[in-house]
Structure 1
Amino acid sequence: MTTHDVGRRERNKQATRVALRDAALRLAMEHGPENVRVSDIADAAGVSPRTYNNYFSSREQAIVDAVTAEREQRIISAILGQPAETGLSDAVLRAIVEHYADPSDQAQDVLLMITNNPALRASYVDRVAVSEDVLTDALFERAPNMDPLTARVLAASVGAAVRVAVGVWLSTLSGPASSAGLVVPTGPLTDQLQAALAALAPAIDSATSRARPPNSR
């Protein structure tokens, strides 16, 4: 198999994954996640249920993947797009808080669906963090001389902080918020994220300072 064939195969696999997760989210929003079957998602994406199982182990995993995948790329772009004079810890915190606390109506509708479905909530917490590999690359791009092990540890720590913050936030589920029986977490997610990430700021800034070339000090 040639390099071209491998590249085309990977693109096709990625396209199938995107089609499945987009179909899962669309159907869940239209009919409610509890009314969507794996076979429905597979049919909407034009593949077999067997193919679906090669990508996702449940409908919840596909729905959550649709919610988190695009946001991850926006966060990385936001980190890299911060002015050079912005400290790395500030760049990371701003990017994550901004994109996890999306105020748009569509984002709020999706979040409400997740908070009102226990299986979706559990899957969301598992998948909510930014990919360690992707974030490590972003840290390196902002601080090219950072120690590789340090960059990976910091990326993993940021991911853990986000998972903890979202998990704590979701654990504060209150009673019914409306006659429809909806439940929503109490307190803003931004507060939890800021508090969790602030604990890592000294380590991130220290690693950035140590990574600077001698002539930049």
Structure 2
Amino acid sequence: MALDPAPAGLRDRKKRQTRDALATAALRLVAERGLEQVTVEDISAAADVSSRTFFNYFPSKDDALLGDHMIDSDRFTARLARVPPAVPALAAVRAALGEVIDGMQADRERWLLRMAVVERNPALLPRLVAAGTEAERAVTAAVAARVGVPPDHGFPVLLTTVTGAAFRTAMLRWAAAGGARSLSDLVDEAFDALAAGLPDPPPAH
């Protein structure tokens, strides 16, 4: 029996490399030319693959730009469930975000470019909002299960909303500083402010 010349691990790695190359090419081209001036054919050529190959990885140009969802709902809820029950829900959500933050920092250049592209091309925002709404539903249900209340209780919705806002605020500050500060530190700063009841900051001098 002939041996498979490309073991599963190698195939998966090559697929990931091709997907990453397409996403990076899409972001760079749109950053240079603008959303409407870039085609799937342009992206495919820049990544040195065919347009047919592009559609094996992404259904559209927008999907290549936005990439994978920031938060994988299933993985996040599994991580949240592993946080000890004695940990308050706010701190548990912060702990469960650790893997997401580490992944973004490891892929720093592409995330900063993606955020700049979205800021310059507001037409992409509805897709982001839709993906965020889907993730927030899953997080709300996970928080409700953790604290023992129904998903329509006010607390899980409120916690999901304010922690989502805190995370987005930290991301925007991270992007504005060009990644000079640690995203993890900025998220901690935002969550610490929430935990303290959002007191007024000291006056800036």
TM range (shorter): 0.5 to 0.7
| 1:149-188 equivalences in 2 (<5 Å) | 149-172=154-177, 184-188=178-182
Q: Deviations over 1:169-204 (max 9, x none)?
A: 2112xxxxxxxxxxx42111111101112233367x
Distance 2:172 2:166 in 1: 10
2:139 maps to amino acid: L
2:68 match: secondary structure: helix
| 1:4-153 equivalences in 2 (<5 Å) | 25-29=20-24, 33-34=28-29, 37-38=39-40, 43=52, 44-46=54-56, 52=60, 59-60=61-62, 62-66=64-68, 68-70=70-72, 72-102=73-103, 107-108=107-108, 110-111=110-111, 113-114=113-114, 118-120=116-118, 131-145=135-149, 148-153=153-158
Call closer, same or farther: CA 1:23–1:200 in 2, change over 3 Å: farther
Distance 2:87 2:169 in 1: 26
1:132 maps to amino acid: E
1:193 match: secondary structure: helix
Percent sequence identity is 19
Q: Shift in Å at residue 68 of structure 1?
A: 1.5
User: 1:200 matched to which residue of 2?
Assistant: 194
Aligned length: 158
Query: Normalization by structure 2: what TM-score?
Result: 0.58
CA-based RMSD of the aligned residues comes to 3.8
1:119 maps to amino acid: V
Instruction: Structure 2 unaligned segments of length 5 or more: list them.
Output: 1-16, 31-37, 45-50, 198-205
Distance 2:109 2:139 in 1: 27
Call closer, same or farther: CA 1:189–1:30 in 2, change over 3 Å: same
1:155 maps to amino acid: T
2:114 match: secondary structure: helix
Distance 2:88 2:80 in 1: 10
Query: Normalization by structure 1: what TM-score?
Result: 0.56
Distance 1:187 1:109 in 2: 13
Question: Residue 76 of structure 1 contacts residue 135 of structure 1 at CA under 8 Å; is this kept in 2?
Answer: yes
